[in-house]
Structure 1
Amino acid sequence: MRNCWLLLLGCLAAACGGNFSNDDLEFLNALPTREDLASELPGSSGTVLEGGLRRRTDALAVAVGEPSELYRDTREASDTFNNGMDGLLTLLEEIRKLPPTTREPELRVWGPWPAPEHPGHEVRFAMKREPERFIYLLQYRTRGAGEEGWWSALEGSFQPDGGLRKGTGAVRLLVKETKAHGFDVGGLANLDLLEIVYQTRALPITVRMRFVPAAPRTASEILYAYRELPGGLGEMGFLLEDTDILPGTRKEDLAIISRWTKDQGGVGIISVTGGDVPMGFTATQVECWDASFRVTYLKRSWETAEVGSASACPDVSALEQP
């Protein structure tokens, strides 16, 4: 899908500029921004910790000051989360730079323009204002087809709740439908749907992302959740159900919740249930890291040994409320 986004952006960049009305801005403010949705985990996406690729099996072998594997897992989850919406957010950033080509009292349309990546097709971005919400669509059609020929590759909605960009919204990348029309979706080819649901009306800002596989018998649905508070406090949750984690014949459910501060490190909890984990038992691991992303504390529920001191973990209690 990113390939599709990038080629569409080239089309948008070639469009003519102009002025925006106040009503145009009301429509544009219904679109999510990178600031609203992106995970802001400290450390760049290129952060590499020496030794971080070694999967630990013995808590006693871990020492304070070693690279934190749980931070690395959180970094990978954060990058996957951000990459999942990067093309979408880049597209919306470009839309905001362009005045609509069609204005009606409750409608704005950008396009249609030729779709250079799909010869013989046209593309448009349309937004409709309803009494309680805005809805928007990224659509394609075969050139020369009528209004009924448009089909949607993306659909979104936003319900304002007072204040600039405050409210609840959802965006769905309709990967299955896009593939059915013969379009290249790039790295999303193994998916049928990518869904993003968010709320910005109250703190903490929350974002949930759902990856729905095209082949559910061989791949599991993946869920991500992100929360953010002012001052650099953040939380990333990750759920992977029915996956083979432990030795044995049955599959487990894996959940990771990581909370972090702006400059004092973070705390992560891994939970594994079901499958080859004994019935009624949850295997958990708590790991804390410092501002350099190195272990300060580690404890596993199935071992009596601890590494470091729990007092070295940063205070993330503000994120412990539901």
Structure 2
Amino acid sequence: MIRKSLLCASLMLVGCGRMDREEEFRSVLPTKDMVEVKTPASTGQALELESQSTQGGRSDMYTLTRVATVVVNGGTLAVLGLVEGVTKHRPTTVSQDTAVWGPHTEPLAANTWKLTVKKLGNNTYSYAVSAKAKTADDSAFVDVITGSHTASLDEAEEPMKGFGQGEFTIDWDKAQTLPERDNNIGKLTVKYARVDDKSAVTVDAAFRQVRDDKDATKRVDMDYRYAATPGQGGQFDFRKTEDFHKVSGSAKQENLTIKSRWLQTGAGRSDVKMVGGDLQPGFEAKASECWDTTFASRFLTANYANPEVLYGTEATDCAFTAAVYSSL
């Protein structure tokens, strides 16, 4: 507080005071820049395991990495859009430690929304987005999004919008009880950190018992881990358990992990490992692919192929010359 007092004294000519309480509560909610997973840009297609890459053609592992990031962003950015839409309105009530937006209902909407933000400490906050049918009693509100955030502070020890760390959970099963809903089921928990504009951005996403995009009758678990440092590239891990290795009469599931790394130029590498299920006990099916700055495949190897190196030279064609497999 001494630092803040000195700063206020030095700014007496222009005035100094605490951030408006309403703006404080609005500023501590997660933003797109905190949780968006960004990889070198190009378009993707459906997530498939078996590589069809050819030397000089578009890298399938690069494409798969892009598609996997779309899955994470699709689950988070829509939620942040909802939160942003709610907080564009003035809060209904604001006290020393709590701000409430809503209940609010769009003119043609069947759902009523409410957002509650509570201050837990100097720079730590919790929040909940609740919803109910428009015609239902207030006791019908269910929390579809819950989270906490620890804000980074500026020199005046005020929360910095877009910077900090925290986590939130989206409960799609609860959302299914609402009259207006999408087709998502299960839960998504996202942990994120963006301390300042120079530090690494990290996003960990855990999908639990969500609908399998290949078989709507099944639920699956998926994990994603992302880290990127401004100007230095990044890395992305992905894990999914599914019946990838089809064997007649068997529904055993294999565990697939993918680790992708890339430079700021866009050149990168993916290392894939699959174990369990119908694979031979103790056998780890592995594959690696490297792509250049145009996302063209330059090196491909697989320990289940003959020969193992299908094309390229690892030492000269890979931005990262050693395989690193995901720990997820």
Which TM-score tier does this pair reach, normalised by the shorter chain? 0.7 to 0.9
Partner residue of 2:318 out of 307, 313, 321: 313
Question: Aligned partners of 2:90 and 2:109: how far apart in 1?
Answer: 24
Question: Aligned partners of 1:105 and 1:146: how far apart in 2?
Answer: 28
Rg larger in structure: 2
Aligned to 2:102: 111
Shift of 1:98: 3.9
Shift of 1:208: 1.4
Question: Aligned partners of 2:33 and 2:300: how far apart in 1?
Answer: 33
Distance 1:141 1:274, change over 3 A: closer
Shift of 1:35: 1.2
**RCO higher in structure (CA 8 A, sep ≥6):** 1
* 2:272/2:286 contact within 8 Å kept: yes
Q: Deviations over 1:136-164 (max 9, x none)?
A: 11123456877644322211111235453
Shift of 1:232: 5.0
3-state DSSP class of the match of 1:186?
Answer: coil
Number of aligned residue pairs: 290
What aligned pairs does 1:233-248 form with structure 2 within 5 A after superposition? 233-241=233-241, 243-248=242-247
Partner residue of 2:33 out of 20, 25, 35: 35
Question: Aligned partners of 1:98 and 1:316: how far apart in 2?
Answer: 52
Shift of 1:26: 2.5
Question: Aligned partners of 1:88 and 1:79: how far apart in 2?
Answer: 14
Counterpart check, 1:25 vs 2:44: no
* 1:33/1:92 contact within 8 Å kept: no
Distance 1:74 1:142, change over 3 A: closer
Aligned to 2:296: 294
Q: Deviations over 1:288-321 (max 9, x none)?
A: 111211111111123443211112212599x999
Partner residue of 2:192 out of 195, 198, 201: 198
Q: Which runs of 5+ in 1 are unaligned?
A: 1-19
What aligned pairs does 1:95-174 form with structure 2 within 5 A after superposition? 95=86, 97-116=88-107, 118-119=109-110, 122-131=112-121, 133-141=124-132, 148-160=139-151, 162=153, 164=160, 165-174=162-171
* 1:153/1:175 contact within 8 Å kept: yes
* 1:261/1:316 contact within 8 Å kept: no
Distance 1:34 1:54, change over 3 A: closer
Counterpart check, 1:65 vs 2:56: yes
Counterpart check, 1:208 vs 2:238: no
Shift of 1:24: 2.7
* 1:270/1:284 contact within 8 Å kept: yes
Q: Which amino acid aligns with 2:190?
A: I
Distance 1:70 1:141, change over 3 A: closer
Question: Aligned partners of 1:224 and 1:136: how far apart in 2?
Answer: 24
Aligned to 1:8: none
Shift of 1:115: 4.5
3-state DSSP class of the match of 1:24?
Answer: helix
Shift of 1:63: 4.3
Distance 1:122 1:289, change over 3 A: same
Equivalent pairs: percent with the same residue? 23
Q: Which amino acid aligns with 1:228?
A: A
Question: Aligned partners of 2:19 and 2:220: how far apart in 1?
Answer: 46
Shift of 1:104: 0.8
* 1:137/1:152 contact within 8 Å kept: yes
* 1:172/1:193 contact within 8 Å kept: yes
Q: Which runs of 5+ in 2 are unaligned?
A: 1-17, 155-159
Structure with more helix by fraction: 1
TM-score where L is the length of structure 1: 0.78
Q: Which amino acid aligns with 1:31?
A: L
Q: Deviations over 1:78-128 (max 9, x none)?
A: 111111112112223334544423211111122222244554x53221211
Q: Deviations over 1:260-314 (max 9, x none)?
A: 1232411101110111222222111110111211111111123443211112212
* 2:210/2:220 contact within 8 Å kept: no
Question: Aligned partners of 1:55 and 1:117: how far apart in 2?
Answer: 45
